[in-house]
Amino acid sequence: MQVNLQTANINNNSYRPAQQPAFTGAPRIHSKLFDPVKKQYDNLAEGIARNYYEKFYRSKFAKKFIDKTKNVKNMTTHMSAIGATLISGMYTVRTLQNDKLDPEKRKTLALNDVMTWAISTAGSYFLDNKLGDWCNKVTTRFVANYVATKPEAKNIELLGDWDPKKIYKIIEDAPQIAYDKITEMKSKLSPEEFSKWLGKARINEDDLTDISDQLLYKKYLKQKKALSKNPEKLKEWIKNAGTSEEILTKISKSVTKNVLDLNLDFLRDKRLTTLIDGIGVLKSLFVFGMVYRYIVPVLVMKPANKIGAYLHQKNAEKEQAANKAA
């Protein structure tokens, strides 16, 4: 059974925005950021891809899990938050049930736990989201460097010998290049030869429909911009194109928009899939680890102690007032 790389990315591949981005500039190909650990990281990623990812994605469990979670965005982030919630909840309950602590001290510590969890969770999601653009740029530079040093990852059979320095351009042009190449080879090769060529190009004939959908969506975006002041004509164009707004919205979620999509849709390099996924996972784990373990606990401790002391004083005043009244 062939591994379907389009479903391989558990984290976020099936949740794509409806707009086609503008591709400008060129990434810096050779970066010193990864040089010190590049060889070790490559070897580790290759081992994981060969011994774990491939076997995992072929399993029945993986197929069911991917089907159930394919529309969940940022799975690593959510799983980190769930794990932190369970741990924080356990500490809070144990603190409140600890008879060896003074009742007011228990409340203060429990309040500290709850505030740390709430602020850490909100802060982690916020910071993880804010670092998304930065992480995408780092990933783009990494992929450009990767294909520059490993030309076999370019999928030259399908996309031609494209320049890694122009990776933004190939992201934008890949659907059209692939569509033209597939239709050309299909017309001039026998069915048997065409089938062999598809294997070399790491693509399936069924993918031609998805690619043509992407091209239709690009045409729709141009028409939408041109007819922004005439929605009725836009609706007429959609009808004449044999589609609908609902279908176009569905297509928008699978448009090739970044290096992750480029790899999953056209390059289909399993090792590169592992590396790209690893960068995103590492970013999320680093953010959650730093926020939960170091940043927020230090910031929350003093406010939580002050709030606890304030509540303790208020309770003491109420008890004194009640005693005097008695």
What's residue 46's pLDDT? 67
Compute the average pLDDT of residues 281-291: 82
Regarding whether 254 and 219 lie in a shared domain, the answer is yes
For the stretch 258-281, pLDDT in tens is 999 999 999 999 899 888 988 888
Q: How many CA within 13 A on the CB side of residue 146?
A: 28
The answer to the question of residue 242 being in a domain is: yes
For 148, the token pair is: 């520059």
**DSSP annotation of 20:** P
How far apart CA 130 and CA 126 sit, in angstroms, is 6
What's residue 19's pLDDT? 43
Choose the final residue of a domain: 268, 290, 307: 268
Q: Which pairs from 52-56 meet CB under 8 Å and 24+ separation?
A: 53/8, 53/270, 53/273, 53/274, 54/3, 54/270
**DSSP annotation of 242:** T
What's residue 304's pLDDT? 67
For the stretch 149-166, pLDDT in tens is 999 999 999 999 999 999
Choose the final residue of a domain: 234, 268, 302: 268
Could you tell me what percent of the chain has a pLDDT over 90? 38
Choose the final residue of a domain: 246, 268, 290: 268
Average pLDDT, the chain: 79
The answer to the question of residue 215 being in a domain is: yes
- 230 vs 77, more confident: 230
Regarding whether 235 and 91 lie in a shared domain, the answer is no
Regarding whether 177 and 139 lie in a shared domain, the answer is no
How far apart CA 295 and CA 197 sit, in angstroms, is 54
Q: Looking at 217-221, 241-245, 249-253, 309-313, which range is the least confident one? A: 309-313
Regarding whether 141 and 126 lie in a shared domain, the answer is yes
The answer to the question of residue 109 being in a domain is: yes
As for how many domains the chain has, the answer is 2
For the stretch 13-50, pLDDT in tens is 433 444 444 444 555 555 555 555 566 666 666 666 66
Regarding whether 161 and 222 lie in a shared domain, the answer is yes
Could you tell me what percent of the chain has a pLDDT over 70? 75
Entry pTM:
0.61
- The position carrying tokens 């992929």 is 143
Regarding whether 263 and 117 lie in a shared domain, the answer is no
Q: How far is CA 56 from CA 32, 49, 133, in A?
A: 33, 9, 29
For the stretch 187-209, pLDDT in tens is 999 999 999 999 999 998 889 89
- Asked whether residue 4 carries a pLDDT value surpassing 90, the answer given is no
Regarding whether 249 and 156 lie in a shared domain, the answer is yes
Regarding whether 163 and 256 lie in a shared domain, the answer is yes
Coil vs helix vs strand at 18: coil
Sign of CA dihedral 233, 237, 239, 244: negative
The answer to the question of residue 248 being in a domain is: yes
Regarding whether 263 and 276 lie in a shared domain, the answer is no
Domain that residue 199 falls in: 151-268
Regarding whether 176 and 323 lie in a shared domain, the answer is no
